[in-house]
Amino acid sequence: MTDVCGRANCFKTRPPLFLRQCAARVYALEAMCYMTAGIADVQRTDDVLVEAAMTKIFAAQVRVFVEFLSRGLPGLPGRQEIEKKKK
């Protein structure tokens, strides 16, 4: 029996919650970048600078969030370091 990925041992119905949260935050960041770029193309005011600053802060938060959650994925170097510290 195969699942949505076409493999036997993949996620049976949908990806785990942490992957969905990471994807949602990266998608939101992409939307913010496109919106900020659109504002910058149309006008060059203080609004663009404020929007760009907010986008940079949100990008840093997303990077930390995704990096922290991805350390728990099997097969990544961060996972091996965590298991070594437990021993």
Range of the domain at 55: 17-86
Q: Identify whether 71 is part of a domain.
A: yes
In a domain, 34, yes or no: yes
User: How far is 26 from 53, CA to CA, in rounded Å?
Assistant: 17
Does some domain include residue 33?
A: yes
In a domain, 37, yes or no: yes
Q: Is residue 9 part of a domain?
A: no
Side-chain-side CA neighbours of 16 within 13 Å: the count stands at 7
Residue 60 lies in a domain: yes
Q: Is residue 61 part of a domain?
A: yes
User: What pLDDT, on the 0 to 100 scale, is given for residue 2?
Assistant: 46
Q: How much is the pLDDT for 53?
A: 94
Say how many domains are in the chain. Answer: 1
For the whole model, what pTM was predicted? 0.66
Q: Specify the higher pLDDT residue, 17 or 26.
A: 26
